[in-house]
Amino acid sequence: MDLETLRQGNFTQLGQAITAWKGMVAELDTLKTAAWDDLKAKADKADWAGMNATVSREFITKTAGEFSDAHAQAKSIHDILNDTRDELVSYKEQLLQAIERGRKRNLTVTPIAGGGFTVTMLIHPDRAAKGHDVPDHSPQDAELLRDDVQRILNRATESDRTAATVLRTLVDQAEVGFSGAEYGDRDSAIDAIRKAEEAARIIQEKGDEMSPEEFQRLNGLLASYRNDPLFQEKFATQLGPKATLEFWADLSSPDSTKDLTRTQLNQLGDFQKNMGLVLGGATQSDSPAMRQWENDMVRLSGEQYNTRNGRVWGFQIMSNLMRTGDYDDQFLNKYGKELVATEKEMRIPDRYWNQQPQPKMNFIGDDEFGRDPMSGFLTALSNSPDAATDFFNAKEPHDNAQWVLKDRPYFDDSPLDDGPNEARDAAGKAMFAAVSGVSDPKDPNAEFQPHTPEQREAMKHSLGILAGMGNDFPPELRDDMALAMGNHGDWVHEAMSDPVSRHELDSGQLMEVSKQVSRNRDAYGELVTQMHSAVVADIYAEKAHPEDSLDRAGRTIGFLEEARYQATNDEKGEKLADASWEKTGRYHVIGGLVTPWHPAGDAAQRVVDMVTSKMLEDEQTKINGQATADHQETYSRRTQELQQIADIWYGQNQEWAEDPAHEGYSQDHGVYKQIGEAANDGNKKAEGVAGVQ
């Protein structure tokens, strides 16, 4: 900013713009509040069905989010403009004061061509009016005035330039709509950009040869700004995708010239998490630079990179950085499509990924070396449920779900071959996210939302694939499928309670999958817990024909019993039940409800917990130490479970049950008889379904 621009600056129009933005912020705040507290709240409570339960509610939720983002962006623009205007007004006042101080010493500041200025005498003593003395000044006075004016102009220029940088960067975050990035002043925003440039520069200039102090500085920057949108985007784009991959390949090599990996080993896990969070957030930006970054990263991940003692694939590197962070859905699906295509082209991808020697590329925990890129990618999908749904539903150019659930040749990537395959376990978690829309089924704050048609399609597709595997069903997926069935409990309960009719979920597939889940005691416990939840939810919700919910409850219990019988008593060539059924001790239920299904909320949850815990403890005494049991023994042991569910039903429908027009539903006998007969019928029909597997 030159001398005359600041000295003659008129900030009236800027002030008017700030006032207009302030009004816009207030209006958007009103709209945001109305969108969330009125429109969205009513949509959440609406008893919609069919497409309205998914499309309309999803649209309203997205619209409410757009109002929030618009308000955040408008407030940031207002605050940055206001902050900059106040600073420029201050700098103008400082400039005028400096010029006036110079005048008192007979010095003046004059602009020159090219935007500069010069300090000269205001009145030469020889030209002063007769009898008029001009003030004296020293050469140092002229230098001080020059330096003061230059410092003020530099600061004003910096204020103006950084405001322009921040505003452009802020607006670029969203190609369409609003980004939601929020900054209370220009300084915090430009600080984030500068810190990102510093972090990227450390990697660009030093790489894995940085000192431990530089590494700690870098890690501190990533940790401090890992949730800052401007930092995320600037760091990723300045570093670039290729340099990102090359840096992690070098850092993973155990023979760094500075021995950084050894000296900072206990910090590498946190560093990996922080870098993943930063890069994931960066992909949420819609700036042209980030869109190019994503396209280049997908392409470069299919190439190999040299380390000091081997070669690694870009997919292996990037997938490890995906273990944390919320990556953009479109980016994840482009990346996943290329990863699946690469693995299919390899035909035996485990041989390529597990070539020796290879460095350890994952420092989060001690379970995996990080050589299997599918493990990190599937972990990223589980953190982004919408992306997981898209991935599991995609059948072109490849059936992704078929590949990761069934066809893919997994390999051991752990230091010791001592447990479940971590990549298969990640596949199960990603599958659950895909069918449920929930990242963590054990999150106490998880909220159940009506399933979209895409989530239901992912559930049907995954169920069909896993049912087709028969006894090759992966053990790592048992608990995840139990949770998935519980998340779709209303759908599953409907099919289990009437297995001979046609439903959207195939009853035969449900029987096969239930049987495979039941091969493990804890997974079976989870499945029972989930289906008890669905049964109780149905009892609470059914008001038009209460007798139907009691009948459905019995039939579903019978279905589950048949599945457990098939799993623990089938001696056709091998014993299906694993060793967990033979261990002594009490049942351990993996987790509670996936989500708050029940109209009665916590009251229903307590009922489910009571019924399930007593039933499972009794189930342990039934199975422990026994290899087989005939159907009659299996069915005769369910009395307590059925009676407790019948008591729940009676508590909800006592008035209906005591109506003389509804005979056969007395509290002490009739309801027990009704649910028992329903369970027997469920046993027989489920046995028929199991027989066709």
Higher pLDDT, 466 or 109: 466
Could you tell me the pLDDT band of residue 470, with boundaries at 50, 70 and 90? very high
d(CA 102, CA 96) in angstroms, rounded, equals 10
pLDDT at 312: 92
**Helix, strand, or coil here: 111?**
strand
Name beta bridge partners: 310.
307
pLDDT at 459: 97
Check residue 295 and give its pLDDT: 96
What are the tens digits of pLDDT across the range 144-193? 999 999 999 888 888 888 878 777 777 776 554 555 566 656 778 888 89
Is 219 a residue whose pLDDT tops 60? yes
Query: Which of 347-356, 512-521, 630-639 comes out lowest in average pLDDT?
Result: 630-639
pLDDT above 90: residue 321: yes
The single-letter DSSP state of residue 580 is G
Q: What is the pTM of this model?
A: 0.79
Element (H, E) at 108: strand 107-111
Q: What is the pLDDT of residues 490-507, one digit of tens each?
A: 999 999 999 888 888 999
**Separation between Cα atoms, residue 318 and residue 335, nearest integer Å:** 10
pLDDT confidence tier of residue 625, bands split at 50, 70 and 90: very low
291 pLDDT more than 50: yes
The pair of three-digit structure tokens given for residue 34, joined into one six-digit string: 């109305």
Q: What is the predicted pLDDT for the residue at 161?
A: 81
Distance between CA 25 and CA 76 in Å, rounded? 9
Q: Is the pLDDT of residue 267 over 60?
A: yes
> Considering only 96-110, 456-470, 610-624, which range has the smallest mean pLDDT?
610-624
Residues 6 or more apart in contact with residue 4 via CB below 8 angstroms = 111
Decide if pLDDT at 95 tops 60: yes
pLDDT at 210 over 80: yes
Select the more confidently predicted residue: 634 or 395: 395
Task: Give me the percent of the chain exceeding a pLDDT of 90.
Answer: 45
CA distances (Å), origin 538, targets 553, 600, 613: 8, 11, 20
pLDDT above 70 for 67? no
For residues 562 and 572, give the distance between their C-alpha atoms in angstroms, rounded to a whole number: 16
**Average pLDDT, integer, range 590-606:** 51
Q: What is the pLDDT of residues 565-575, one digit of tens each?
A: 888 775 543 45
Phi, psi of 446 (to 5 degrees): -65, 135
pLDDT band at 579; cut points 50, 70, 90 = low
- Alpha carbon 178 to its chain's center: 20
Task: Give the DSSP per-residue string, 463-515.
Answer: HHHHHTTGGG--GGGHHHHHHHHHHTHHHHHHHHHSTTS--SS-HHHHHHHHH
Indicate the range of 81-90, 242-251, 376-385, 592-601 predicted with least confidence: 592-601
Query: Structure tokens of 630?
Result: 């005939």
Separation of alpha carbons 537 and 593, rounded Å: 12
Question: Is a pLDDT exceeding 50 seen at residue 596?
Answer: no
pLDDT reported for residue 627: 38
Residue 659 Cα distances to 223, 545, 664, 666, 673, angstroms: 66, 13, 10, 10, 18
Instruction: Dig out the tokens for 62 from the structure.
Output: 């997205």
